[in-house]
A and B are shown apart, each in its own frame.
Chain A
């Protein structure tokens, strides 16, 4: 309540001074605490957005007010006070540390295990660095190369200015503002994210990674990404950084929209390893993401690959809407939950066009007291004749206090389609552990080997370098869970 009052006061204060009903003081680092129509205006104004976008945000905000937070997921957490969150803060407001000595030793230990060079460790941990970080120059050459192909890869806030017609046409076209509670919230207050446009006939010559986008740091809790692949294109996009980043924000509600035209292929890979909280789940990130791809064109293909090891709570269902005939949707997922982590994740495959195909491979690993749920929907609509889905959900339990749950929904509205679902649950057996130990491996090496073996089908979908680090991360996040 105190928070709400602070917001009201601050907004009142600035509203009386400026004609938009508020601030043009661009030096302001933060919007006042809390969420209101004025805060939405504040964000839009800060970003010098066109009127249509402000209106779009306001519509989303009104919609959000009329919605209820979803409660169907198998996750349990205290009610979020949305008035106790800052919705806008200018870049680089992370408290600066003077040296690595001030960084959480646990974090440093993880960096070391991942083999991250000292310089990068400093940047990731938010230590003030006075030299130019290598990736800045890398990013520049990177951009030039892409521009030559006509590819647009920039922050979405920049795209709003430089390519408003594209943003206007596609934003919210895959995930409408009314889609769900968190998507509506994101639409109202998103701060930044990536924009990718692949023009007709272009195969993107390199993996696009947020890592190379300099101002990516601090794009905030409400990230918004939009990727458009025109006819006959290919693009592979890597989201996230394999090293855990320090982050004080508790709630993350991102939106990712993908659009694939005729014969276009989008491969979207994520490694998510935000802070999971302590052993009791205290202080971890709540990750409530909406990700969806529209296979609009014939023979288009969208493939989601995710390795989720972090966050206290993960609520995430990357989905494919298969509109174009012969289009293909894929979902490959590894979700690890240890200690008090809760993961409720899966996918939706909506078959609309003829002969559409989808594959779902989900590997859930639970340890400690963690709960891990696969929730998936496969819908075959009336006209989707000749369509096929194959789903495989495997769960691996480590210890006997954790849980794995599989919740598949299948709606089939034509008999001319085939849907297959397979599910298994297994444990790391004492026999397996002893066999590995007898070969000289310690318990952690053994667990890591067995777990990575379990995830193999998904890991091989990740780009090589990413896969190697993702493997190490899984090992790290399961440390101490066996023996």
Chain B
């Protein structure tokens, strides 16, 4: 079943065409990688999907589990099961990680008609998931992303993903700023969440991440469009010849 369907998406920022008729279909159980050079529109695509203010489509449409997103605000989309792991996670001074997670999880549970978790049940669950991500209790007591290292920020993003159990996750350059050990932890965290019911879109500049999160499909994004799609071998081609070779060939 198609979980995410992007149809001919066009988007302008500051009167400049950024997405130029992009289409993509993602089915449940699949992992897609979107690769592209800097400035090709990867983050713009993720913000558009998440419904950020100012990232409305000029034309085209997006469907989440068959439901059109055009009239849905960012928070509704999130509650409906769309998750974005940010390239640059945002600091929330004074907002404790645990309280933030709990508010988010209970809001989603409420939306799904599930019972909200009480404080104790939540803390237990959060600790269980956190330990798998090598996120220490101490980090959850700190304010969200404040003073976190690059690796900590990315681990906290994936921890949120694990707690929220989204239908579709978009990971925007989750590998940037990670050393090999951190990359492995984060990838393990993502892989543990792969199942037949959900889908993951991994956005990256480098092939390296795809050694750890092995995708079913790879798409090359260039200048606001997908210029080539294929299997994991396409990522290796990028690694070998660089984007320039592929773009010129297209």
Docked Cα-Cα span, A100 to B103, in Å, equals 32
Query: Is B143 interfacial (CB 8 A cutoff)?
Result: yes
Docked Cα-Cα span, A469 to B92, in Å, equals 22
Residue B78 contacts which of A440, A449, A450 (CB distance < 8 angstroms)?
A: A440
- Closest Cβ neighbor of A363 among chain B residues: B94
Q: Mark A220-232, 1 if CB is under 8 A from B, else 0.
A: 0000000000000
- Closest Cβ neighbor of B81 among chain A residues: A440
Known contacts A452-B95, A455-B94: A434-B52 contact under CB 8 Å: yes
Residues of the A chain whose Cβ atoms lie less than 8 Å from the Cβ of B160:
439
- Closest Cβ neighbor of A448 among chain B residues: B103
| Least Cβ–Cβ distance between B213 and chain A, in angstroms | 21
Residues of the B chain whose Cβ atoms lie less than 8 Å from the Cβ of A432:
90-92
Query: Is A443 interfacial (CB 8 A cutoff)?
Result: yes
Report whether over half of chain A's contact residues are helix, strand or loop; otherwise say mixed: helix
* B90 A435 Cβ-Cβ under 8 A: yes
Residues of the A chain whose Cβ atoms lie less than 8 Å from the Cβ of B73:
437
Docked Cα-Cα span, A452 to B95, in Å, equals 7
| Least Cβ–Cβ distance between A427 and chain B, in angstroms | 12
* B95 A435 Cβ-Cβ under 8 A: no
Residues of the B chain whose Cβ atoms lie less than 8 Å from the Cβ of A441:
75, 103-104, 107
* B100 A449 Cβ-Cβ under 8 A: yes
* A438 B50 Cβ-Cβ under 8 A: yes
* A442 B92 Cβ-Cβ under 8 A: no
Docked Cα-Cα span, A439 to B75, in Å, equals 7
Known contacts A440-B75, A440-B111: A445-B103 contact under CB 8 Å: yes
Residue A453 contacts which of B50, B95, B107 (CB distance < 8 angstroms)?
A: B95
* A438 B92 Cβ-Cβ under 8 A: no
Query: Is B89 interfacial (CB 8 A cutoff)?
Result: yes
Residues of the A chain whose Cβ atoms lie less than 8 Å from the Cβ of B83:
438
Q: Mark B129-161, 1 if CB is under 8 A from A, else 0.
A: 000000000000001000000000000000010
Query: Is A431 interfacial (CB 8 A cutoff)?
Result: yes
Docked Cα-Cα span, A439 to B80, in Å, equals 10
Residue B103 contacts which of A443, A449, A455, A457 (CB distance < 8 angstroms)?
A: A449
Residues of the A chain whose Cβ atoms lie less than 8 Å from the Cβ of B53:
430, 434
Q: Mark A452-468, 1 if CB is under 8 A from B, else 0.
A: 11111100000000000
Residues of the A chain whose Cβ atoms lie less than 8 Å from the Cβ of B74:
434, 437-438
Query: Is B84 interfacial (CB 8 A cutoff)?
Result: yes
- Closest Cβ neighbor of B75 among chain A residues: A437
Chain B contact residues (Cβ within 8 angstroms of A): what range?
Answer: 20 to 34
| Least Cβ–Cβ distance between A480 and chain B, in angstroms | 16
Q: Mark B14-57, 1 if CB is under 8 A from A, else 0.
A: 00000000000000000000000000000000000011110000
Docked Cα-Cα span, A431 to B92, in Å, equals 10
* A454 B104 Cβ-Cβ under 8 A: no
Residues of the A chain whose Cβ atoms lie less than 8 Å from the Cβ of B90:
429, 431-432, 434-435
* B95 A438 Cβ-Cβ under 8 A: no
* B92 A453 Cβ-Cβ under 8 A: yes
| Least Cβ–Cβ distance between B64 and chain A, in angstroms | 14
Residues of the A chain whose Cβ atoms lie less than 8 Å from the Cβ of B212:
none
| Least Cβ–Cβ distance between A93 and chain B, in angstroms | 44
Docked Cα-Cα span, A474 to B99, in Å, equals 17
Residues of the A chain whose Cβ atoms lie less than 8 Å from the Cβ of B78:
437-440
Known contacts A437-B74, A441-B75: A450-B164 contact under CB 8 Å: no
Docked Cα-Cα span, A443 to B76, in Å, equals 11
Chain A contact residues (Cβ within 8 angstroms of B): what range?
Answer: 20 to 34
* B92 A449 Cβ-Cβ under 8 A: yes
- Closest Cβ neighbor of B106 among chain A residues: A440
| Least Cβ–Cβ distance between A462 and chain B, in angstroms | 15
- Closest Cβ neighbor of B91 among chain A residues: A432
Q: Mark A399-442, 1 if CB is under 8 A from B, else 0.
A: 00000000000000000000000000000011110111111111
Residues of the B chain whose Cβ atoms lie less than 8 Å from the Cβ of A439:
78, 100, 104, 107, 160, 164
Query: Is B66 interfacial (CB 8 A cutoff)?
Result: no
| Least Cβ–Cβ distance between B192 and chain A, in angstroms | 20
- Closest Cβ neighbor of A446 among chain B residues: B75
Docked Cα-Cα span, A453 to B84, in Å, equals 23
Docked Cα-Cα span, A431 to B164, in Å, equals 20
Docked Cα-Cα span, A457 to B143, in Å, equals 13
Residues of the B chain whose Cβ atoms lie less than 8 Å from the Cβ of A431:
90
Docked Cα-Cα span, A441 to B73, in Å, equals 11
Q: Mark B60-82, 1 if CB is under 8 A from A, else 0.
A: 00000000000001110011000
Residues of the B chain whose Cβ atoms lie less than 8 Å from the Cβ of A443:
75
| Least Cβ–Cβ distance between B54 and chain A, in angstroms | 9
Known contacts A431-B90, A454-B93: A438-B103 contact under CB 8 Å: no
Interface centre among A436, A440, A441, A449 (most CB of B within 10 A): A440
Interface centre among B75, B93, B103 (most CB of A within 10 A): B75
| Least Cβ–Cβ distance between A464 and chain B, in angstroms | 13
Residues of the A chain whose Cβ atoms lie less than 8 Å from the Cβ of B164:
439-440
Docked Cα-Cα span, A385 to B38, in Å, equals 61
Docked Cα-Cα span, A278 to B157, in Å, equals 42
* B92 A435 Cβ-Cβ under 8 A: yes
Residues of the A chain whose Cβ atoms lie less than 8 Å from the Cβ of B94:
450, 452-457
Q: Which of B107-125 contact A (CB under 8 A)?
A: 107-108, 111
User: Could you list 17 examples of A-B contacts with CB < 8 Å?
Assistant: A429-B90, A432-B91, A434-B74, A435-B92, A436-B92, A437-B51, A437-B78, A438-B74, A438-B84, A439-B104, A439-B107, A440-B111, A441-B103, A449-B99, A449-B100, A453-B143, A456-B94
Given contacts A437-B74, A440-B107, 11 further A-B contacts (CB under 8 A): A432-B92, A434-B53, A434-B74, A435-B89, A437-B73, A439-B100, A440-B75, A440-B104, A450-B92, A453-B96, A454-B93
User: Which 4 A-B pairs rank lowest in CB-CB distance, beginning with the nearest?
Assistant: A453-B94, A453-B95, A435-B90, A440-B78
